[in-house]
Amino acid sequence: MQADIVVLPGDGIGPEITACAVRVLQQIAQKFGHEFRFQTHLIGGAAIDASGEALPAVTLDACRGADAVLLGAVGGPKWSDPKAPVRPEQGLLAIRQALGLYANLRPVSTHPAVLDRAPIKAELLQGVDMIVVRELTGGIYFGKRSRTADHATDECAYSRSEIERVVRRAFRLAQARRGYLVSVDKANVLDTSRLWREVTTRIGAEEFPDVRLEHQLVDSMAMHLIARPREYDVIVTENMFGDILTDEASLLAGSLGLLPSASLGEGRIGLYEPIHGSAPDIAGRGIANPYATILSAALLLRHSLGLEAEAAAIEKAVSDALYAGCFTGDIAVKGQTALNTEQAAEAVLARLV
């Protein structure tokens, strides 16, 4: 297979971790007989510095012509002024909307080798395996907004069609897994959530009667995620609730450095990135955990290129590295030797041969 992959290193530790993922993809291409062609472009703060824009036209054009996009992270103190007219995060919102990437998939699973790294009792975490599906291009992040000296408004709006497409994707995922979907809303207060619940209930009854559907209010779901995480299979929710709940769910894995994500639309192209940020405090020190980005490359192979065996090979290599005690500083404990970024990548590459 031939495939064109755009790499957007971004800011902070982004260049370091995406370089590791590219090396893994190159080894996969060699091992399985594929040809992956890589282009690197700017996004976020690096793009602002170079062009004044968080998502330059040349970057977006390259992404539109690619089969998949691998992203590092954006942002940092240099660009953190909330009054700035252009901010790195605007690049993320713009690329998601421009490419029609309305569904963000965040798989959350626990690894036996690092169960004790999470701030939650290990017995609650054994066997956790869920996917959170977050609607990505609607809701309050994309609504109308206004601001005066003493008043501000952020509008949360959803159409029936926006809800239908992301809910259908979540139902299909649940069908292929354990047949259990939880839809999260705030239907006791918000009209957008009442529409969300109405649409989800109808689609479940009419199109996916084999999937068990449960509704949860977002505040109670926040508690259940910590108290009984093993129970959940697929969770679907709107943009802001999903943003908050997926960061909370990251605690289950023991480190943000272990969790990948995929942002998908109706076509082949997807955007793949670790769920963590740019970590400017450790940027350039060579100690960032590359595993989440490498696992994001596995999702790229699975969802955009349809290469399941290759994706599984990467996931197994990361898992084997963790079983072997190949820990970076965020997951190493006292008395263990912490690997640097390069050594962690080498640990994965050594298990792909």
Give the whole-angstrom CA distance, residue 182 versus residue 324. 35
pLDDT at 175: 98
Domains of the chain: 1-109+254-353 (3.40.718.10), 119-253 (3.40.718.10)
Tokens read off for 265: 């639309």
Look up 247 and say whether it is catalytic: yes
- Contact at 8 Å (CB) between 95 and 60? yes
Cβ neighbours around 119 below 10 Å, total: 8
- Could you tell me the two tokens for 276? 């963590």
Say how many C-beta atoms besides its own lie within 10 A of residue 51's C-beta.
15
Q: What is the pLDDT of residue 277?
A: 93
Q: How many CB atoms lie within 10 A of CB 316?
A: 14
Whether residue 218 contacts residue 236, with contact meaning beta carbons closer than 8 Å, is answered with no
Report CA-CA distances (Å) from 197 to 86, 156, 265.
Answer: 35, 16, 22
Q: Which two tokens stand for residue 97?
A: 């909307």
Can you tell me the distance from the alpha carbon of 187 to that of 185, in angstroms, rounded to the nearest whole number?
A: 6
- Dist CA 188 CA 89 (whole Å): 31
pLDDT averages per 10-residue partition of the chain, 353 residues:
98 98 98 98 97 98 98 95 90 95 96 89 92 96 93 97 98 98 98 98 98 98 96 97 92 90 96 96 97 98 98 98 95 90 98 92
Active site residue 61: no
CA distances from 219 to 223, 237, 284 (A): 7, 12, 38
Which strands, in side-by-side order, build the sheet including 129-135? 35-40, 2-10, 68-73, 270-274, 260-264, 103-109, 129-135, 234-237, 180-185, 212-217
Of the residues 11, 67, 102, 141, only one is catalytic, namely 141
> What is the structure's pLDDT at 250?
85
pLDDT at position 31 is 97
pLDDT at 135: 97
Cβ contacts of 339 within 8 Å, gap of 6 or more = 326, 327, 328, 332, 347
In the residue annotation, 141 being an active-site residue is answered as yes
Say whether 67 sits in a helix, a strand or coil.
coil
The catalytic residue among 4, 129, 233, 247 is 247
Q: Is 186 an annotated catalytic residue?
A: yes
From 129, 180, 186, 320, active-site residue: 186
Residue 59's pLDDT is what? 98
